[in-house]
A and B are shown apart, each in its own frame.
Chain A
């Protein structure tokens, strides 16, 4: 496998335990180079533990992680030269001024672009004289993002980057920053709760549920195979039509179900069935798919 074919991130059989609690349970995933990969999951699903282990900041109980083809635990130091990280919690020292943070990073990265940093800070409206601890939660994220991007990374890992950002900043992050990076071929791995924002830019998504990777595939394929079907009959009818359901609930006198292997032929067979009086199908947003997979009442 040549370098271009090596995934930007490869996680294989990773388990993370805190005492008896299993935070990540035998998770495996691959983030293709140049892609925008969104890892979704509810709070406590194990996303941040997986990200820390992937970045070599924490040792997994078992399994391993590779970044850009190298073991991230063993080679963290030089890998971080090529990886930009925006942590879930702003972790820069609060006493430092933004300009001091930039100066500190400038000494560490060979590809540091001070102009790019200054431009982004200016675009975010952040004074470089401000102390990091005095910034709002959203501004801290923006500074962290500007620091990460100024090092011109090959891979950028964003752990819940929109946390604390207002609507405008969130939109700017997804539509301008990430889209721009993606256009330049930078691999983006992000965890987020902002499903609407990520839906427009992600190439591939994974959903974590209870520490496990419940789903990992191309976004388009995912959206193509998930449908909501409403029909006037018992749920048993779906099984007769070979649909796999992830969420089923009563709807008036009929049933509403989310199926994860939708195809038009099967749906036509269902609709033409003698026991069905009416049946409608509708496409689903990523958020709806997420709720169907990881929400209350979801089943595989």
Chain B
């Protein structure tokens, strides 16, 4: 340690010109306040801004320059023998020089920054709006990194060795490897885990860079090329070890089994035995994994590269799922993939390029896909030939909600809703309806609906003939209202009772179902299109929402009393609650999906198929609504 400090002291003894320069820069902010052109600006703001920019800029530049020169200049000028001919170890030489450089940078930063900060502390806090300790930590880390990188670049470039070409190749490979480690984590929503991995990789890099100088001097001594060889060997070998460990960790993180999911969420199509399950994976912090999961067999397909099922969609029969795969997590554009839902099936690229915010839908026969992008261009593709059949541009594109479905394989219907999100106050809102005919290649504007409201909701019957539209307001002057409309033209067919979005739905027989919480408890009110109404009492609950409509005229409702959940199966044809299942709740966002999903049609689940539900402990169950049979899945 004595020798290390001796080297540090020696290096510091020749830094006087640097300290003088720093002192001159420290005075500049104060001098600039006297410049006539700057007199209109707050003096304290000038001092703190220029003082901070000067301190950070000078310190970082100085760190890099010192890094470049502290060893490689001695090697270039053949002065390393001065140290090597003395009883100084390579460690003492290297760390002595690093300590001297860090002290120089720290002192210069303090000389420039502290006077301006003390002079205008309040102004500094207002102007920069950053935590001082955090800011200093970032600058310190950046300075250390620049110092060490400067040393590496100095050694490599000053050796004038052709080995530099290999270094550049390995640098490129390292960058790719880091992306390969980080990207899968980001694709799995693992912000915290990614941050930790990034910090760990950064820490490992710093340790490697800190150790490399001592290693380099021990192995290379006074020979600048041998220094370069030793440095490169050490850095790339150590980085390779770190990256292999990091890669193995990422591989482990992104390969959980469905059983590793903690409190998984579910998206279940109306048909088929496959569902999406999604959630945080055990021991993987905030990494979220997504699986297509067959509730019949327990088979699963891990799906990478998509950000949960929000950018995906099932085909009508539930046999296929389509999803947008982005080349990297920040990319705005990717390719649409089709994943047949059967064990061992591989995802198939469709050659359909989509932007991140595009919407797509399958035709009910699964032969075609309709896509609408953020520019309002709607296209129908044939999956077998991977060809675009027809494409058209809609008049409205920006600040709209786009919803799309195939009325039949040759006809796409598009709903363009403005504004896309609910407002605080009532605003002019509209839904424009278009149809794109694949055979005639004609785009027709078939109807529109206008209202002054806070929020406009639309859901459409399974055959696409009728719609339920709701204007949500609920203030003293304007009340919420709802209407059954012609889903093609938006012509009002009949008024309907108003309710919140999770308490009203359009049923398969065209009637409107509303959940009401009254003095005697919740009721299900059924309003037929001819104006007749029926009421089915459900019972007292704190909350009750629509969960699913089943084939055969049944509705599944999810209720919560305090913290206990109950699932109700209501036969709305015969007007009775046919089953109550305690300790189960819906795991999906079905109630909202009918209002905001890409396809506005309500899907009706096959009553013979089990539903995927949670219990109150968030375990997943397959539950048969007709028989009440329950099987734990995950």
**Which A residues are closer than 8 A to B by beta carbons?**
52, 55-59, 76-81, 83, 85, 87, 89, 91-93, 95-96, 100, 104-105, 107-109
Contacts and interface: CB of A to CB of B under 8 A. Distances in A.
Contacts of B223: 58-59
Contacts of A96: 10, 13-14
Contacts of B440: none
A-B pairs with lowest CB-CB distance, top 10 = A85-B85, A95-B14, A107-B6, A91-B82, A81-B87, A80-B87, A57-B222, A77-B89, A57-B84, A91-B79
A80 B6 contact: no
A55 B85 contact: yes
Contact of A93 (B82, B88, B89): B82
B93 to A, nearest CB: 10
Given A56-B221, A59-B226, A93 B84 contact: no
Contact of B81 (A91, A100, A107): A91
B221 A89 contact: no
Contacts of B221: 56-59
A78 B87 contact: yes
B87 A57 contact: no
Interface in B219-233: 219, 221-223, 226
A30 to B, nearest CB: 22
A107 B3 contact: yes
Residue of A52, A78, A83 with most chain B CB atoms under a 10 A cut-off = A52
B86 interface: yes
A96 B221 CA distance: 22
Contacts of B88: 77, 80, 108
B632 to A, nearest CB: 66
A85 B82 CA distance: 9
Interface residues of B, number: 23
15 contacts: A56-B84, A57-B80, A59-B221, A59-B226, A80-B84, A80-B85, A80-B88, A83-B85, A95-B13, A96-B14, A100-B10, A104-B9, A105-B86, A107-B2, A108-B86
A108 B87 CA distance: 7
B408 interface: no
Interface of B: 2-3, 6, 9-10, 13-14, 78-82, 84-89, 219, 221-223, 226
Contacts of B78: 89, 91
Contact of B10 (A76, A77, A104): A104
A80 to B, nearest CB: 4
Nearest to A97: B13
A58 B223 CA distance: 6
B6 A77 contact: no
Contacts of B80: 57, 91
A52 B82 CA distance: 12
Contact of A100 (B13, B84, B89, B226): B13
Given A78-B87, A107-B3, A52 B10 contact: no
Contacts of A95: 13-14
A73 to B, nearest CB: 9
Nearest to B91: A77
Contacts of A109: 86-87
Contact of B84 (A55, A78, A81, A104): A55
B84 A76 contact: yes
Residue of B3, B6, B82 with most chain A CB atoms under a 10 A cut-off = B82
Contacts of B222: 52, 57-58
A80 B86 CA distance: 5
A258 B222 CA distance: 41
Nearest to B15: A95
A57 B6 contact: no
Nearest to A110: B87
Contacts of A105: 86
A226 to B, nearest CB: 35
A55 B87 CA distance: 11
Contacts of A85: 81, 85
Nearest to A157: B85
A200 to B, nearest CB: 27
Given A79-B87, A96-B14, A107-B9, 17 more contacts: A52-B81, A57-B84, A57-B222, A59-B221, A59-B226, A77-B88, A77-B89, A85-B85, A87-B85, A91-B81, A95-B13, A96-B13, A104-B10, A105-B86, A107-B2, A107-B3, A108-B86
A94 to B, nearest CB: 9
B394 to A, nearest CB: 70
A89 B77 CA distance: 10
Contacts of A79: 87
Contacts of B14: 93, 95-96
A102 to B, nearest CB: 12
B82 A92 contact: yes
Contacts of A52: 81, 222
Nearest to B220: A59
A105 B10 CA distance: 10
Contact of A87 (B6, B81, B87): B81
Contacts of B6: 104, 107-108
Contacts of A104: 6, 9-10
B223 to A, nearest CB: 5
Given A58-B223, A59-B223, A96-B13, A108 B3 contact: yes
B86 A57 contact: no
A262 to B, nearest CB: 41
Nearest to A132: B82
A56 B79 CA distance: 15
B10 A93 contact: yes
A35 to B, nearest CB: 21
A114 to B, nearest CB: 15
B81 A77 contact: no
A157 B219 CA distance: 22
Nearest to B226: A59
A81 B14 CA distance: 25
Residue of B13, B14, B81 with most chain A CB atoms under a 10 A cut-off = B81
Residue of A79, A96, A104 with most chain B CB atoms under a 10 A cut-off = A104
B86 to A, nearest CB: 5
A77 B88 CA distance: 5
A92 B2 CA distance: 20
